A and B are shown apart, each in its own frame.
Chain A
């Protein structure tokens, strides 16, 4: 039983590798991967059930509590190894079939353990969960949320950890390349001073949270050819009062949201800024609301998000 299951899973893994191999034109490694997989299957058959109790290098039952890492896993071809995700995972579409095991504040330890994971991706701050998993001898991959460069580092390290080092390396390189291309396109263009809004109370200008000069959102907007008006505040989030918005005089107001918004509601939300008529962004009509999940998840779609932001801020560069 256990052997058959393992074989199936390895074969699935092999096909994932194969798909990637062809995309990356790595004929040699594909051959090696295939023969390695065959070898492993034979070994499993020979050694019998004892194998399934031992830890392998490449985990085959991964649980990811972090949407950004889930995206990375699927993107490097480790999707078939993922057995459960967090309650906030929405991308890629494959995750909709997977069981949910809570998230940052409410991880369901019982559920996690019952799925027999051989790797759990957790936040660095989830110390209780980490202790519980360590006691249960379940390996963990500890993730912490930081800057744009850290996304690439995380892709490489998580890819290596789950046995897709090559694909992860290629993915990180292609993201770097796309970002560099955007930087080149917007180089020399005027850099608008931009207010980046994460969140505020719907229909009013109360409770505005803006990006400070630290974190991946700040880095994304900088790469897209703009300067953050709160670059001097070294925090991820700044509570921006009406006075601060008026005093900083942003050329552009960029609202980033993960959830889709209806066209009518979008118009209404953009119109709310009209009351701050002296702000250059309001005067020149450069208030944008991007409702795109890629802009709020520090995952492999970050290059796509930077392109989207750059196209919004510098449409002339794409003409």
Chain B
């Protein structure tokens, strides 16, 4: 690694890290209600009597942290999927992960499953299992006779699985009653109000595994962007790199969705914005996207919970309102 590159990584990571830190530190200070910070941190008042402390530590802090976690996972998974599929319009949800997760959550809600798994709710656990199932099917299909992973088959299988799972969702929805239908719709919009640290703690190991894989993937993704053959001649085991990219990015997406639901557009808006600023090198884009994704989603969530307080908008609505026009702009710009 050249010193020039190291400096660029340090500089961008520092810049975006600062942005993420500011977002994470200021987000818990704002909300639909006014709290006194001095009271919130006053140790002399017992925690169970201290409303300000409870709002800060039980409502706002876990919510901000889950926003940071989900945002960084989805944004960096977006980078990996775009690199793997060599398609700038790929998102973490292109390959059926979110539809599988949605089907799992929906089954849990419709049939009122109430088991708890490592302290997280049935819907979250079922959505994670659903996303793994979807990923497994797509992976098995894309491996087939091909030596490595066929990215074309991957894309087609993913899109088809998305459609098929959506059909299954509608089928299950038919048996749900009104309040369940409403709850499912709400789940699909994304919600970061986790109300405890447990879901975040459960997702942390998965986050570490995926981020470790992403760190390794930065160089292989750069080589893959030259095409499979060029990458192979430069000593990259293309099949292994593709497999690791697909599995780790899917794991990251599944973890994010099980915490916050399928929050849309993060995985496409953030990577492209970051590339506009720092260029296409994955060694810079990956850490910058993870940090900027955290800042972006935390920021969107602040807007979602304050713009029409005391009621609040689902965070997915905000990201989609920003992301939709951005996506179209990207399309037009490419054409």
A50 sits at the interface (CB 8 A): no
The interface residues of chain B lying within 8 Å CB-to-CB of A104 are 178
CB under 8 Å from chain B, chain A span 231-264: 232-233, 235, 238-239, 241-244, 246-247, 249
- Asked if residues A241 and B193 are in contact (CB atoms below 8 Å), the reply is yes
B121 and A201 within 8 A (CB): yes
Does A265 interact with chain B (Cβ within 8 Å)?
yes
B268 to chain A, nearest CB (A): 26
Chain B residues near A276 (CB-CB < 8 A): 54, 58
Chain B residues contacting A243 (CB-CB under 8 Å) are: 31-33, 55, 59-60, 63, 193, 305
In the complex, what distance in Å separates the CA atom of A205 from the CA atom of B312?
A: 16
Interface of chain A residues 274 through 300 with chain B (CB within 8 A): 275-278, 283
Cβ-defined contact, A278 with B49, below 8 A: yes
* Docked CA distance A209–B182 (Å): 10
Contact of B311 (CB < 8 Å), options: A238, A247, A275: A238
When distances are taken between beta carbons in the complex, the residues of chain B under 8 Å from A207 are: 183, 186-187, 191
Chain B, residues 98-135, CB within 8 Å of chain A (1/0): the string is 00000000000100111010000111000000000000
Cα(A224)–Cα(B116), bound, Å = 35
Binary contact track B151-183/A, C-beta < 8 Å → 1, others 0: 000000000000000000000001001110111
Q: Verify if A48 is at the interface (C-beta below 8 Å from B).
A: no
Given contacts A239-B311, A243-B60, A275-B196, contact A204 B121 (CB under 8 A): yes
Bound complex: CA of A78 vs CA of B183, how far in Å? 35
Which residues on the B side are within 8 Å of A134 (C-beta)? none
Check if A40 is an interface residue, CB within 8 A of chain B: no
Q: Using Cβ atoms and an 8 Å threshold, which residues of chain A touch B122?
A: 202-203
* Residue B19 is within 8 A (CB to CB) of chain A in the complex: no
Structural contact, B121 and A202, CB atoms closer than 8 A: yes
Query: Are B116 and A241 closer than 8 Å at their CB atoms?
Result: no
Complex contacts, A176 vs chain B, CB 8 Å: none
Shortest distance between the CB of A184 and any CB in chain B (Å): 33
Asked whether any CB of chain B lies closer than 8 Å to the CB of A143, the reply is no
Of A206, A243, A277, which is in contact with the most chain B CB atoms at under 10 Å from its CB? A243
By a CB distance below 8 angstroms, the chain A residues around B58 are: 242, 246, 275-276
B194 partner, pick from A206, A232, A235, beta carbons under 8 A: A206
Report yes or no: A235 in contact with B311, Cβ–Cβ below 8 A. yes
Considering the chains assembled together, what is the distance between the CA atoms of A239 and B177 in angstroms?
A: 19
Collect the chain A residues with CB atoms within 8 Å of residue B178's CB. Answer: 104
Which residues of chain B are near A246, meaning CB under 8 Å?
51, 54-55, 58-59
State which of B51, B114, B183 has its C-beta within 8 Å of the C-beta of A203. B114
Indicate with 1 or 0, residue by residue over B12-36, a CB within 8 angstroms of chain A CB atoms.
0000000000000000000111000
Among B114, B174, B187, B312, the residue within 8 A (CB) of A239 is: B312
In contact, A202 and B114 (Cβ under 8 angstroms):
yes
Contact at B121–A206, with CB atoms within 8 Å? yes
Is B310's beta carbon under 8 Å from chain A? yes
Instruction: Give Cα A112–Cα B54 distance, bound, in whole angstroms.
Output: 54
A201 touches B183 (CB 8 A): yes
Closest Cβ–Cβ distance, residue A287 to chain B (whole Å): 15
Q: Is A169 an interface residue (CB 8 A)?
A: no
Contact of B311 with A198 in the complex, beta carbons under 8 Å: no
**Residues from chain A with Cβ under 8 Å of B59 in the complex:** 241-243, 246
Whether A202 pairs with B112 at a CB distance below 8 angstroms is yes
Given A278-B51, A283-B48, A203 contacting B193 (CB threshold 8 A) = no
Is B50 positioned at the interface, with any CB of A under 8 Å from its CB?
Answer: yes
Give the docked Cα–Cα distance between A206 and B58 (Å).
12
Check A219 for interface membership: any CB of B closer than 8 A.
no
Interface residues in A198-233 by Cβ distance below 8 A to B read 198-199, 201-207, 209, 232-233
Q: A286 → chain B, closest Cβ, in Å?
A: 16
Residue of B nearest to A205 (CB): B195
Q: Quick one: which of A198, A204, A265 contacts B195, CB cutoff 8 A?
A: A204
| Chain A residues within an 8 Å CB radius of B311 | 233, 235, 238-239
Smallest CB-CB separation from A247: which chain B residue?
B33
A180 to chain B, nearest CB (A): 31
Any chain A CB within 8 A of the CB of B47? yes
Question: In the complex the two chains form, is A278's CB within 8 Å of B183's CB?
Answer: no
Asked if A242 contacts B114 (CB within 8 A), the reply is no
Is the Cβ of A241 less than 8 Å from the Cβ of B312? yes
Q: Given A201-B183, A265-B114, do A88 and B177 touch, yes or no (CB 8 Å)?
A: yes
A252 and B253 alpha carbons, distance in the complex (Å):
39
CB neighbours (8 Å) of B55 from chain A are 243, 246-247
- Cβ–Cβ < 8 Å partners of B187 in chain A: 207
Q: Is A106 an interface residue (CB 8 A)?
A: yes
User: Inside 8 A of B109's CB, which chain A residues have their CB?
Assistant: 201
- Chain A residues contacting B31 (CB-CB under 8 Å) are 243
Q: How many Å lie between the Cα of A235 and that of B59 in the bound state?
A: 23
- Residues of chain B lying within 8 A (CB to CB) of residue A203: 114, 116, 121-122
Q: How far is the CA of A309 from the CA of B108 in the complex (A)?
A: 30
- Bound-complex Cα distance A207 to B193 (A): 8
Contacts A105-B181, A242-B63 known; list 7 others, CB within 8 Å. A104-B178, A106-B174, A246-B51, A247-B32, A277-B47, A277-B48, A278-B50
Residue ranges of A at the interface with B (Cβ–Cβ < 8 Å): 88, 104-106, 198-199, 201-207, 209, 232-233, 235, 238-239, 241-244, 246-247, 249, 265, 268, 275-278, 283
The 6 closest A-B pairs by CB, nearest first: A243-B59, A277-B48, A247-B33, A242-B59, A242-B195, A202-B114
User: What residues of chain B have their CB less than 8 Å away from a CB belonging to chain A?
Assistant: 31-33, 47-51, 54-55, 58-60, 63, 109, 112-114, 116, 121-123, 174, 177-179, 181-183, 186-187, 191, 193-196, 305, 310-312
* 13 A–B contacts, CB within 8 A, in A order: A202-B114, A204-B121, A207-B187, A209-B183, A233-B311, A238-B310, A244-B32, A247-B51, A247-B55, A249-B51, A268-B114, A275-B195, A278-B48
